[in-house]
Chain A
Amino acid sequence: MQLTEMRPDFERADGVLAGVEPREWLFRGIVGGAALFVFVVIIAMIYELTRQAWPAIDAFGLGFLTSTTWNPPSEQFGAAPFIIGTLVTSSLALVLGTIIGVGSSLFLVEVAPRCVRLPVSYTVELLAAIPSVVYGLWGVFVLGPWIQHTAGPFIVRWFGWLPWVEGPALGVGVFEAVLILTIMILPTIVAISRDVIGAVPRSQREGILALGATRWEMVRIAVLPYARSGILGAAILGLARAIGETLAVALVIGNSTQVPDSIFSPAYTMASVIANQFREAENDMHVAALIYIGLLLLIITLLVNAGARLLVWRVTKGQITTVIE
């Protein structure tokens, strides 16, 4: 193993620490314990969720993922409307958030003068500190009516020929949830992308500029490829927040168990159905089904994270990795 050579001098090849203070063991114990703690919590969560969801897992199996029936009084449960709602809203928010987030990061790093950069950076980071219920209420009282009376009719009129664009806009629905989520994940994406783009070495930029590139070409050729793994990481963190967001979405998405057929349809997400129905669940099977959704949400989050790691690994194979790694 390579590791042997990397060992510090004071550690002998037989693994016995020579002359190391007990403090070293203490340190190892503490950080090891901290790492173990996180691991144990995740395992305990999966175990407990599976245990409590078992009646529903037993009764509905994997059909739970594809069934669109959600009927608590007759104890028929399927999570498809919620899974679809979560995936649609968070992936659309991811696309919008990444475009806007990376765009504004590039502006901040490459274009904006210093006197603009700092205040704008702080403002964007401030967005992260706003509680989600405030976003939700803003969505209900400001964004909703605006979409209903201004943006919605406009979009339906000019883009109604597109699939899944159909009116009338209600003031709640998929589109609103996507906009709210986009705004909520922006600070994460901007903050990380900005640092990652800023970390691209000066020499890269200077080299390409010396070859006569325009600023756009410099960004395209020298900056973005260098920063892409970091930007991907930023986007994934944003996605994780979008998938798990509960309250703001519950306030604006319309909470309908019908599968949406338009961006203006009301829909439902996995997190918001748990928030809405857990407290006044109809029966034990209802509770189990809601916990089953919670388990699926956890699994989806783990898969997204694993997928992101894989993506980052593949994109950066053989390249210098950047700060986010």
Chain B
Amino acid sequence: MRIFHPRFGPAGGACGLALALVGAAVLAACGGSRGPLLAEGTASVTASGSPVPAVDVSGIPPDVGSSDEAQITAAGSTFAAPLYTRWFIDYRARVAAGVRSNYQAIGSGGGIQNIIRKTIDFGATDAPMTDREVAKAPGIQHIPTAIGPVVVTYNINGISQPLKLDGPTLAGIYLGKIAKWSDPAIVAQNAGARLPDADIIVVHRSDGSGTSYTFTDYLSKVSADWAEGVGKSKNPQWPKGIGGQGNDGVTQYVRQNANSIGYVELIFADKNNLPKAQLKNASGEYITPTTQSASLAAQGVTLPPDYRVSIVNSRTSGAYPISTFTWILLYREQSDASKGKALVDILWWAIHDGQRTSQELDYAALPADVVRAVEQTLATQITYDGRPLLRAGR
């Protein structure tokens, strides 16, 4: 039995995008093109245990949870904290006045640990949980909420055009194999730029960080030397360089040291007007990091049901190569019906109306195909007592 709520949002302006997205979902459903997005064998928690077929979600408005009442506690990612905090405020003001939320920006690792111990209602992380962590939290579900690009920034005197780099060169710099800015590998990509014959000062994060994870994930994809020698990690063993604490620390060291290179989140680079290197993507184009080019990185990616997927070095044309999803972590089977419903409803709103806020805050929005896949997950996978929570109780 389906009960559709006829009201499409109290804020008149808020429904435009939502309608468009819902419309797209309907079209996709009609075209039957949804298949490959949800990999087969989707983990199902329905009573029968059979794979859940794609359900029609076209009638669910973004503000489906407007009458929810719950107190939600969450913790995790510092990167996503401004977005989630803003979402919760907006959601309470515009959609459901009865949903109070508290988000603690304690870091992705803390978010994972706390959701494993079930001390919070949902966690948030920028690096997907490892297999070992997932094993400790049976029934955990990753839900992508936004995309965060990582920007390569630099401090080179006297160059006016943006620095261009390809993946192997960037890996060579961080490995210490490319030690000077005048190295032929860099010069060849930057015709006309006057690069100094100076040692490159490499700056990285000193604290464990999802940003480092994304950055080294990319370097591992584009350089076999990096993959074997260092690998992807929140705390890699850096072969070279100085470590700054947080985005601020990296920024300060890059600013302070001429001829340096570092990496920070896009939001941070924009806020501080840092120079942004253009990186060569898998299609051979040099791409400036923006929210648009980062969104493209997630387009056309085959999404596994648990969404633990890397979107670095995307093959999509125009995609910026170093980006990551940021995820919310929650249990598929919720232990509290009203809280679980409030959670699903707020996520439903977040992947629709909430995506506009993402862009205001300089996060890259989820592309339409990802939104469609997440719609299915939310509608079928998040349950209470085996029954999907979305639309329940209306």
A binding-site residues for B, Cβ under 8 Å: 69-74, 140-141, 144-145, 148, 168, 170-173, 250-251, 254-258, 266, 276-277, 279-284, 286
**With contacts A276-B206, A280-B207, A282-B234 known, is A256 near B242, CB below 8 A?**
yes
Judged by a CB distance under 8 angstroms, whether B132 is at the interface is: yes
**With contacts A140-B252, A266-B243 known, is A277 near B208, CB below 8 A?**
yes
Judged by a CB distance under 8 angstroms, whether B231 is at the interface is: yes
Question: Which residues on the A side are within 8 Å of B98 (C-beta)?
Answer: none
B binding-site residues for A, Cβ under 8 Å: 106-110, 130, 132, 199, 201, 206-210, 231-238, 240-245, 249, 252-253, 256-257
**With contacts A72-B233, A276-B206 known, is A250 near B245, CB below 8 A?**
yes
Question: Would A172 and B110 count as touching, CB distance under 8 A?
Answer: no
Give A257 to B236 CA distance when docked, in angstroms: 10
**With contacts A172-B242, A266-B242 known, is A280 near B257, CB below 8 A?**
no
**With contacts A171-B253, A279-B107 known, is A72 near B242, CB below 8 A?**
no
Closest A residue by C-beta to B253? A172
Question: Would B256 and A276 count as touching, CB distance under 8 A?
Answer: no
- For the complex of A and B, the 9 pairs showing the least CB-CB separation, nearest first, are A280-B208, A255-B243, A255-B206, A73-B233, A280-B109, A71-B237, A254-B242, A72-B235, A266-B242
Question: Which residues on the B side are within 8 Å of A172 (C-beta)?
Answer: 242, 253
Name B's interface SS.
Answer: loop
**With contacts A171-B257, A172-B253, A250-B206 known, is A280 near B243, CB below 8 A?**
no
Work out how many contacts link A and B, with CB atoms closer than 8 A. 89
Provide a sorted-by-A list of 6 A–B residue pairs whose CB atoms are within 8 angstroms. A70-B237, A141-B252, A255-B243, A279-B106, A280-B110, A280-B234
**With contacts A140-B252, A254-B242, A279-B110 known, is A74 near B235, CB below 8 A?**
no
Give A171 to B234 CA distance when docked, in angstroms: 25
Question: Which residues on the A side are within 8 Å of B231 (C-beta)?
Answer: 73-74
Chain B proximity of A317: nearest CB distance (Å): 46
Question: Which residues on the A side are within 8 Å of B232 (C-beta)?
Answer: 73
Question: Would B201 and A276 count as touching, CB distance under 8 A?
Answer: no
**With contacts A145-B256, A255-B206 known, is A276 near B245, CB below 8 A?**
yes
Q: Which of A140, A148, A286 contacts B235 (CB 8 A)?
A: A286
Give A140 to B210 CA distance when docked, in angstroms: 24
Question: Would B242 and A170 count as touching, CB distance under 8 A?
Answer: yes
Chain B proximity of A152: nearest CB distance (Å): 12
Question: Would A281 and B243 count as touching, CB distance under 8 A?
Answer: no
Question: Would A279 and B207 count as touching, CB distance under 8 A?
Answer: yes
Chain B proximity of A278: nearest CB distance (Å): 8
Closest A residue by C-beta to B259? A168
Chain A proximity of B203: nearest CB distance (Å): 10
Interface centre among A74, A250, A254, A255 (most CB of B within 10 A): A255
Q: A70-B237, A71-B236, A250-B245 are in contact. List 4 more A-B contacts (CB 8 A).
A: A73-B232, A255-B243, A257-B238, A282-B234
